């Protein structure tokens, strides 16, 4: 796990909470999400949306970001994106 976290950090790779793959952010992976939080790894919300009507499918990912207390990590990604403008 430490090797993965180091890789994510070194290459500025973020973790995506995607409702199409909820098993990846299930509660059984709490240790992983604690490591993301502790290491300031950015997190994002993805929805594999190809139409406006399916953009509302972000409730569960948002809930899980809050559950794991990763709001700061979500903000880190937003700041990175804002600085790329």
pLDDT tens sequence across 43-64: 999 877 777 776 777 889 999 9
The residue segments making up the domain with residue 47 are 2-83
Total domains, the chain: 1
d(CA 44, CA 3): 21
**Taking every pair of C-alpha atoms in the chain, what is the biggest distance, in angstroms?**
39
Which element (helix H / strand E) includes 45? strand 43-45
pLDDT digits (tens, 9 = 90+) for 37-47: 999 999 999 87
């Amino acid at each position: 796990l430490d090797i993965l976290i180091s890789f994510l950090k070194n290459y500025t790779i973020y973790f995506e909470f995607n409702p199409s793959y909820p098993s990846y952010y299930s509660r059984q992976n709490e240790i992983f999400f604690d490591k993301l939080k502790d290491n300031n790894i950015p997190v994002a919300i993805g929805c594999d949306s190809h139409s406006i009507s399916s953009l509302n499918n972000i409730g569960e990912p948002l809930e899980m970001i809050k559950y794991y207390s990763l709001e700061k990590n979500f903000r880190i990604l937003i700041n990175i994106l804002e600085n790329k403008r």
